[in-house]
Amino acid sequence: MPDNKVSALIDINELKKLQEKPPLFAPGEPEFWTDPYISKQMLAYHLDQNSDAASRKGETIQRTVDWIVSFLGIKEGNSLIDLGCGPGLYTSRFAKYGLKVTGVDFSQNSINYAINSAHQQGLEITYRCQDYLQLTDEAQYDAALLIYGDFCPLSPEKRTTLLANVQRLLKPGGFFVLDVTTPFLRKYAGLKNGWYAAGSGFWKPTAHLVLEQGFDYEGDVYLDQYIVVEENAKVTVYRNWFQDYTADRIRAELQSNGFLVQSMWSDLTGTDYQQESEWIGVVARRV
């Protein structure tokens, strides 16, 4: 006969309550990307050349770096900081242009990989395991990057903090380069709604059940929620929030926080902006 001991421990009413639409930007599990197991899975996704799940593929990254260096006109010896640098896929390429590069990420696994990779390549790159919402650098950099939609999961309050930090760390007239998702990407991807059981997977190394849900909110805000139930009936809720942007919305938000938007693109490889683009690449400057 099947063993029903575990299922008897699961509080169905708790699961039902957790599946209700949460308040806007309500937090989930605080130890998310810094979780020792999950951070290892994220590192593997960053390095996977068959997937764009965590980082874009190497060819696209190289085209992005080449375009940014050319378009901004940054030169050997200029300083650049990559916020949310992950395992250093962009920073290492910028360093090969002779730039003074700093990478910041709060995943120690990714930072360790980036440091080892730089050492193996003979590159001088400064890496810091730090939350970029807590940066205190002042007027040190000619350019700051926030790539692959890292701006979008932040609440309005955290975005304001981030933009103030970027304002402070850039030299006068310094560049801020970022990309954000648009409602056309969510229209294509849709909202999550399903479940699966795994012996091991992204969230946990042991058997678990995952309930996936998607919620939409006014103002093009979306939530991807994952309720993970382990064999011992422990329940953890992971939440990924996304603020999608129109060209007008991202321009207004940056300008209200002291940046002058110089140009917009459909990506950060120099593709001309299209009205129904799934991404917007933005080049702004500190006023």
Q: Is 108 helix (H, G, I), strand (E, B) or coil?
A: helix
The domains of the chain are located at 5-29+185-242, 37-182+245-286
CATH T-level fold of 37-182+245-286: Rossmann fold (3.40.50)
* Closest by CA position to 239, among listed 55, 33, 16, 12: 33
With a CB cutoff of 8 Å and minimum separation 6, the contacts of 226 are 203, 210, 211, 212, 213, 237, 238, 239
- Alpha-carbon distances, residue 245 vs 180, 183, 221 (angstroms): 7, 7, 9
Q: Which two tokens stand for residue 225?
A: 């929620």
CA-based angle 202:206:208, to the nearest 5? 75
Q: Which two tokens stand for residue 163?
A: 């933009």
pLDDT reported for residue 179: 98
pLDDT reported for residue 1: 43
What's the farthest any 2 CA atoms get from each other in the chain?
71
pLDDT reported for residue 100: 98
Q: What are the φ/ψ torsions at residue 137 (nearest 5 degrees)?
A: -60, 150
Only one residue has tokens 């708790």, namely 14
CA-based angle 277:89:73, to the nearest 5? 70
pLDDT reported for residue 54: 77
* Euclidean distance between CA atoms 287 and 285, whole angstroms: 6
* Euclidean distance between CA atoms 188 and 165, whole angstroms: 33
Q: In whole angstroms, how large is the CA radius of gyration of the chain?
A: 20
Q: Which two tokens stand for residue 226?
A: 């994952």
| pLDDT values of the chain reduced to their tens digit, one per residue, 287 residues | 444 444 447 888 889 999 999 999 999 998 888 899 999 999 998 999 888 877 899 999 999 999 999 999 999 999 999 999 999 999 999 999 999 999 999 999 999 999 999 999 999 999 999 999 999 999 999 999 999 999 999 999 999 999 999 999 999 999 999 999 999 998 888 888 999 999 999 999 999 999 999 999 999 999 999 999 999 999 999 999 999 999 999 999 999 999 999 999 999 999 999 999 999 999 999 99
Torsion over CA: 45, 128, 258, 140 (sign): negative
Q: Report the relative pairing of strands 208-217 and 193-198 from DSSP bridges.
A: antiparallel
pLDDT reported for residue 190: 85
pLDDT reported for residue 202: 95
Torsion over CA: 179, 186, 34, 136 (sign): positive
